[in-house]
Structure 1
Amino acid sequence: MTRYRPPQPKSSAYITKSGHEALCQELKGLWITRREVTAALAAAAAEGDRSENAEYIYRKKQLREIDRRIRYLQKRLDELIVVNQLPSNQDQVFFGAWVELEDETGECVTYRIVGPDEFNVEKGWISMDSPVGRALMRKHLDDEVTVQRPAGRVRYAITAIRYTENDG
């Protein structure tokens, strides 16, 4: 058995303006946290024997995780495309849309189509790369979409499309 893992498929490079600002704030916060962790690491290293120094080992691990996230954000922020204008055809589902769906049982759910870097299940924000997001793209009001989920296929009818949170 090998350790080889094929590379992940490239995710979409689109992001909302607020999502881009949030990632920039996260990056700034990580640099501040890194300074604090580096100071704590230096203090732990000064205590002597590093092989049995739990504080030193923990801070080294924490610093590696922070550096990994900083590297990722720096590369990702350079390649992201900020979408800050509404589509010309607002009767169709595109990036940034709030879409209200009704399934076969009559249960309604609302999703917002966002980039893979800002999805948030609690807010109802789904990635445009997700199965539901891909199925909804370019659909119109009253269209039906079928999505394959782990629990089986689900059919949705699009009951509303809007591009502002307070709308509708």
Structure 2
Amino acid sequence: MKRPISKTLLITRAGYQQLKNEHDELWFKKRPEVTKIVTWAASLGDRSENADYQYNKRLLRQIDGRLRFLRKRLENLTIVDYSPQQAGRVFFGAWVSIEDDDGNTLSFRIVGPDEIYGRNDYISIDSPMARALLKKQIDDMATVQTPTGSRDWYILDIQYPDANS
């Protein structure tokens, strides 16, 4: 799955570790396995009609592309840890609970764009919702521009996962 290059280079410590683990899994486990299969398939002779060779060679190129992306991305990311000055306000890494005028509630964590994949409870710091909530406090109202017009949300709760450590 190809992920877009994002503009924000912030990431939580857990998100950074997850990307690092993906890199290590690809580099130390997956790539050597696929390389062995490619070497074995190549030794069988005619590569033009060898499905094992062609499929695994393509897979190896995909792995190498993802590894290049991860190395460059990990090198440029800035890990953001909780700071006591953030207490009581919405900043990067916060878990936020909000409610609209109709009583609909949402809870999510504001994280870097590299962390939102596969998670329904994370939103990117680059999203309109996150931008509207930044620096707000409990009971503040945030107006979010949506395709159907603006919508008001009220902040119910703000938590930081690392605040107690």
Equivalent residues in 2 for 1:45-84, closer than 5 Å: 45-84=42-81
Provide the residue aligned with 1:23 in structure 2: 19
SS at match of 2:24: helix
Provide the residue aligned with 1:130 in structure 2: 127
- The answer on 1:139 being equivalent to 2:132 is no
Provide the residue aligned with 1:159 in structure 2: 156
Pair 110,58 (structure 1): closer, same or farther in 2 beyond 3 Å: same
Pair 86,38 (structure 1): closer, same or farther in 2 beyond 3 Å: same
Aligned partners of 1:121 and 1:152: how far apart in 2? 28
TM-score, reference length from structure 2: 0.86
Structure 1, 136-145 or 124-133: larger mean CA deviation: 136-145
Q: Aligned pair count?
A: 160
Provide the residue aligned with 2:97 in structure 1: 100
Structure 1, 87-96 or 28-37: larger mean CA deviation: 87-96
TM-score, reference length from structure 1: 0.85
Aligned partners of 1:39 and 1:9: how far apart in 2? 31
Q: Deviations over 1:62-109 (max 9, x none)?
A: 111101110011111111111123240412110111110102220111
CA RMSD of superposed structures (Å): 2.2
- Letter matched to residue 77 of structure 2: L
Q: Deviations over 1:34-60 (max 9, x none)?
A: 011011011111222222221111111
Pair 75,142 (structure 1): closer, same or farther in 2 beyond 3 Å: same
Contact 2:82 2:163 in 1 (8 A): no
Q: 1:166 Cα shift?
A: 9.7
SS at match of 1:112: strand
Pair 106,25 (structure 1): closer, same or farther in 2 beyond 3 Å: same
Structure 1 runs not aligned, ≥5 long: 1-7
